[in-house]
Structure 1
Amino acid sequence: MNDVALEGRSNLTKTVPQQIADQIARRIVDGEFKDGDPLREQELASYYGVSRGPIRDAIQELERRGLLEILPRRGAYVIEPTIDTIADVFNVQAAMAGLAARYMARCGTPEAIGHLAEVVGELETLAEQQDVEPIVFVTPCWRLLSIVAANCGNEHLRRMMRDLFKHSLWGVLWGSQPLDYLTRERRHQMALNSRALLEAISTGQDERAEWLLREIVFASRDEGMRIIRKLRGQDVDPSRIMHDSNPG
């Protein structure tokens, strides 16, 4: 098996098709596979050193992520994500995360709020350090989102957020290079916003909690857009950049 494909601690909990799908997704985002390119099962099976079964499963996973189109009797073809598509994904993510924060502010348990407080404390500690790898800082950021999603009390929303996070283009892009939290200032701002979110949730300020978590996701989106614009030489359609007014 191609040893580039299946390394990494985070891969230990993933199936072989999921790991292969992650790697192919990164190759699409990095431009190795272009929009409209066919993906042939046998070539991929030889490259990754597996049978065609895992490749077929990986292709289906990539179709769910919106990175491939499978045409009957013709095969799978690449859909290269545009910068506008990436912005759209995170607008949806922000809306769902904000709604989950609003639910948690209304019905979050003391235990769940305690778990959230632990993550916020970890972010504050990391933000005070001079040199922190972005991937180290982003891990508790994702945990914060996961805690809010898991404890929103809305099972339908929780499942939708789980699926969105699992198939998010953000994770694919981060697999190529860091896109946020590159500076101490950004890390410090995230820590401040997270503390404000915790306070809003723990005191039942549901509208403020929703706005704060949406803004956290929007800020990460905007930082990523800035870097992607440089990498691709593309600009995002301004109509794709959503923001909310502060509810106070």
Structure 2
Amino acid sequence: MTGSPMPAERADQPVAGSAKSPPEIADVIRRDIQSGAYPPGHHLGTIEIAERFGVSRGPVREALRLLESLNLVRILPRKGAFVIAPGDDEIQELLEIRGLLFALSCERAARRITAEVAADLGRHAKRLTEMAADPACSPRRFQQGTFDLAETVLRACGSERLAEMQREMTFGAGIVYGHLSFATQDMRAIEARAFGTLVELIVAGHPEESFRAARRVHEDGVRRGVELAALMPKPAPTDFRGKRKRRS
């Protein structure tokens, strides 16, 4: 699994700046949903959101309708708007797109490699190897190490638009499986070796090989995460009142 998470702004904090129009408000809330600040089932109160952005409830309602059109929010009559979880097919699609974006970033980074970037990537790859050898290393800590390496690739790829697209897609898919790809020490060791090979190709300036290696790293990580997720109990469905339904 690859990605580059950005610290999420707390969803209850006032928003400074010019986020006043419905599309701008919707974009901020979308980021909150993708970061996990607004989890599935969370009620999006129009009054609270209006106060947060310093606007009336009209722009908020329009922003929520925009989010509903993106299948991020469900608006129920007389109940309000609720965050919904992506379906399995949508998650798989997001993962595939994100993997392709990461591979493109690695290809571009290999074409533009510098001594400074090579040194940074080498440090991150070494750190992953050290964490993989540490039995006390948690899956989430190792995952953050892969994020740090991926962020170096994104900064080196020479396309801020490509980098931003991947950053924005990290949360929606990564939240679902994420650290499951690194659940055991053996899995972390496999991932560390794969990232080490990828870094060697990027540093050597082999764009095509870097692209293929990045696809393998991502696809293998997703496969391991999905296989492990299939063995875990499914969460109870959300009843859109901020609670979980009891299973009968």
Please give the range of the TM-score, normalised by the shorter of the 2 chains.
0.5 to 0.7
* Corresponding position of 2:175: 172
Q: Is the CA contact (8 Å cut-off) linking 2:135 and 2:185 kept in structure 1?
A: yes
Cα 1:164–1:11 change in 2 (3 A) is closer
**Structure with the largest fraction of helix:** 1
**In the alignment, residue 232 of structure 1 is paired with which amino acid?**
K
Tell me the residue number matched to 1:201.
202
Shift of the alpha carbon at 1:20? 6.2
Q: Is the 8 A contact 2:9 2:32 kept in 1?
A: no
The farther-off stretch of 54-63 and 154-163 is 54-63
Q: CA deviation at 1:77?
A: 5.0
Query: Out of 122, 126, 133, which is 2:127 matched to?
Result: 122
How many residues align structurally? 206
Residues 1:111 and 1:180: Cα distance change in structure 2 (over 3 Å): same
Distance 1:62 1:125, change over 3 A: farther
Structure 1 window deviating more from structure 2 (53-62 vs 144-153): it is: 53-62
Give 2:213's aligned residue: 212
- SS of 2:95's equivalent in the other structure is helix
Pair 218,64 (structure 1): closer, same or farther in 2 beyond 3 Å? farther
Question: Given the alignment of the two structures, is residue 100 of structure 1 paired with residue 105 of structure 2, yes or no?
Answer: yes
Check conservation: 1:87, 1:225, Cα contact below 8 A: no
- Please give the residue correspondences for 1:47-126 in structure 2 after superposition, counting only pairs within 5 Å: 51=51, 53=53, 56=60, 66-68=71-73, 76-126=81-131
Distance 1:20 1:178, change over 3 A: same
Q: What is the CA distance between 1:15 and its match in structure 2?
A: 7.5
Matching residue of 2:21: none
Determine if the alignment matches structure 1 residue 137 to structure 2 residue 142. yes
Q: CA deviation at 1:159?
A: 2.8
User: Hey, what's the Cα distance between the residues in 1 that align with 2:70 and 2:175?
Assistant: 10
1:32-77 deviations in whole A, cap 9, x for unaligned?
Answer: 46xxxx74435xx4xx9x9464895996996698522579xx9635
Separation in structure 2 between the aligned mates of residue 61 and residue 219 of structure 1, nearest angstrom: 35
The answer (yes or no) to whether the contact 2:8–2:37 under 8 Å persists in 1 is no
Following superposition, the deviation at residue 105 of structure 1 comes to 0.9
Aligned-partner Cα distance in 1 for 2:201–2:140: 27
Match of 1:4 in 2: none
Counterpart contact for 1:94–1:215, Cα < 8 Å: no
Equivalent residue number for residue 24 of structure 2: none
TM-score by length of 1: 0.68
- Give percent identity, aligned residues only: 22
Q: In 1, are the aligned partners of 2:10 and 2:37 still within 8 Å (CA)?
A: no
Task: State the superposition RMSD in angstroms.
Answer: 3.7
SS at match of 2:205: coil
Structure 1 residues 13 and 40 mapped into 2: Cα distance closer, same or farther (>3 Å)? closer
The counterpart of 2:233, out of the listed 226, 231, 241, is 231
The DSSP-based 3-state class of the residue aligned with 1:86 is helix
